Amino acid sequence: MEKIKKRIEEIFSSMGIKPKEINTKKDNSSKKDQELIDVDISLNQEDAEWFLNESAMGMRALQHLVRLVLFKDIKNRPFLVLDINKHKQKAKRVLEEKALEVAQKVRREKKALSLEPMSAYERRLIHMKLAEQPDIITESSGEEPNRKIIIRPYP
């Protein structure tokens, strides 16, 4: 984990940015074989805006770059989730609340509903949250970048 922190500090340093704090942790709670590594980065607000503007495209690009740099020689690369100033944490709460609202609507109307296309990370969050609901099932449908989730009542 120290190697991950060091590499991220080097990447930021090459951009002239000094993170306030970088925290890393492994999360093996997923049932899949793939290891999950959470990286929480704290930046001053001005620097964070560069990464969080335009639907956090900069943060997603940084996450992709960090994953490639760190795990280029590893066949089964860990799933890396990079968050800046708790942006994803806040967005996760909003997404989970939306998923629960749609699940309620599915229960009331007793028919399947689909959500708008979203990233694999966002779909994973919804699948995991709604897996806790015994009367609801979820499935992903479509091809990237238009892949979305369909939420339906269980049988």
Are both 125 and 72 inside the same structural domain? Answer: no
pLDDT reported for residue 33: 64
Mean of pLDDT over the chain: 91
Which comes out higher in pLDDT, residue 55 or 52?
Answer: 52
Q: Please give the pLDDT value at position 104.
A: 97
Question: Does position 111 have pLDDT exceeding 60, yes or no?
Answer: yes
**Is the pLDDT assigned to residue 32 strictly greater than 70?**
no
Tally the domains of the chain.
2
Tell me which residue range forms the domain holding 107: 90-153
Beta-carbon contacts of 69 under 8 Å, excluding residues fewer than 6 positions away, are 7, 11
Which among 45, 60, 85 is the end of a domain?
Answer: 85
The answer, yes or no, to whether residue 30 has pLDDT greater than 70, is: no
* Same structural domain, 9 and 22: yes
Examine the domain organization and report whether 103 and 117 are in the same domain: yes
Length of the chain: 155
pLDDT > 90? residue 36: no
**By the 8 A CB rule, do 103 and 114 touch?**
no
Per-residue pLDDT, averaged over 26-43, amounts to 80
Cα separation, 80 vs 67, in Å, equals 6
CATH of the domain at 12: 3.30.300.20
Q: Which of 32, 54, 85 is the last residue of a domain?
A: 85
Same domain assignment for residues 41 and 111: no
- Look at residue 119 and tell me whether its pLDDT is greater than 60: yes
Q: 142 and 104: one domain?
A: yes
